[in-house]
Amino acid sequence: MSFILRGLLSGGRAVYRARAPCLHYGSVAPDICERTLVAVKPDGVQRRLVGEIIKRFEKRGFKLVGMKLLQAPEGILSEHYHDLQKKPFYPALIHYMASGPVVAMVWEGHNVVKSSRLMVGETDSSQAKPGTVRGDFSVHISRNVIHASDSVEVAEKEIGLWFHRAELVSWETNDHIDLYQV
């Protein structure tokens, strides 16, 4: 059985529900269909950290439903960091994010937005705890390796900004009984 993501068109781009309509396996099924955008930034790609980062999300039990390597267009970056455009570091941030390819991914699972932020660690790498991506692989806020959406609402917008509807794949795992009480 499969389900179809409902994309709502907004400004020419599809906006996807971070809480997509989802299969429920039983009466106590948790919300296992929350989605978030995770992106390995250009420094992470250059440093060959893509596999390490994917491994962490897979081992945690999240499900990959979208992934691509791309040279991020300026339009996506300016929209993505729209709220930061008045910050003094904004020009350097855009330059950094456009300096090489990024790997954009959509991960799905229970509480994935909050869990991803915890796995990624503090924005300022010097404050990021060991065991987090930033705490293990980054020493400075300006080169902090990875992005993860910071709320379900933001995840919804960011997924719609970075991915077209057809690029997201809804698929069933057969390990949900090991991962969730269903």
Task: State the DSSP H helix or E strand holding residue 45, giving kind and residue range, or none if neither.
Answer: helix 42-46
Residue 129 DSSP one-character state: P
32 or 145: whose CB is closer to ligand UDP? 145
The closest residue (CB) to ligand UDP is 123
Q: Is residue 147 among the annotated active site residues?
A: yes
Query: Which of 153, 172 has the CB closer to Mg ion?
Result: 153
Give the binding-site size for ligand UDP (rule: CB under 6 A).
9
Distance CA 8, CA 135 (A): 37
Q: Which of 85, 126, 142, 173 binds ligand UDP (CB under 6 A)?
A: 142
- Which residues does 102 contact at the CB level (< 8 Å), separation at least 6? 39, 40, 41, 42, 45, 69, 70, 71, 72
Give the one entry of ligand UDP, Mg ion, none that residue 136 binds, where binding means its C-beta sits below a cut-off of 5 to 8 angstroms depending on kind.
none
Q: Which residues bind ligand UDP (CB under 6 A)?
A: 84, 89, 93, 123, 141-142, 144, 147, 150
